[in-house]
Amino acid sequence: MFEVRGKTVVITGGARGLGLHFAQCLAQFGANIAVIDLASKPSEAFLELQGKGGNHKYYQADVTDYDGLKSTIDTIANDFGSINGCIPAAGIIRDKPFLEHSKSDIDSTLAVNLNAVFYTVQHCAAKMKEQKSGGSIICIASTASHQSLWPQTITAYTASKFGVRGFTKQAAAELAQYNIRVNSISPGCMMTDMLQSVITGDESRRKLFEDNCVMHRIAKPSELNGIVVYLMSDASSYATAADYRVDGGVL
């Protein structure tokens, strides 16, 4: 029931960070991976997927471009024959005091973290409906979508992630008739490249993140593997409209 071999999964933001890790995880279990990212070419880490099971292909596209993204997802469906899963993982964060957030900060954060999730899920779900195959969609929320993460100053990010959780529930309700499941994951503090750049040389900030959860440590991205494989596989066939917290006890 935990088999994902042969499933084609679309992952946005897959050139780095959690998106890349989700690609690596599912490729290891034999899934076909279609990564969409803004970078003009894939990272060396993505190229290493070629040694794992399944077929893997990189597509350059702007996830905030509704029509351009649809065209890319149409191409993916043609290239792979079907789309069975989707993880809209592209995201940005502005760590800036609320009163200093510019219009550009707000607009860009919501465009990538919320609007693009809507676009990606809509386009992939349309393919799943057309195929009459059902599918699984995993949105990426955050512990910030459950409570304030003060003293971090991430108001636009928090607003976008609350939006993702609300979107997940409504999309799940509307897509259930097509056997398309929509869930979200709320990760805690993960040691991604982005976080590493934030805490390098700042032990006080590292300690802040570590002390924010009952396990008193920052997680490895691999600690999301279990929930990702579960939600993408038939083992979770009766799970939809739910948010799964993997946060070391923050909440």
> Could you give the residue numbers annotated as active site?
157
Q: Per residue in 82-100, is it b (16+ CB within 10 Å) or e — as a string?
A: bbbbbbbbbbebbeeeeee
Q: Residue 233: which region, alpha, beta or left (left: phi > 0; alpha: psi -120 to 50)?
A: beta
CA distance to 29, 94, 105, per residue, from 247 (Å): 24, 21, 26
Instruction: List beta partners, residue 88.
Output: 12
> Rg of the Cα trace of the chain?
17
> What amino acid is encoded at 25 in this protein?
C
Q: 């550009």: which residue's tokens? A: 104
Q: Give the span between the Cα atoms of 43 and 47, in whole angstroms.
A: 7
Q: Are the beta carbons of 156 and 106 closer than 8 angstroms?
A: yes
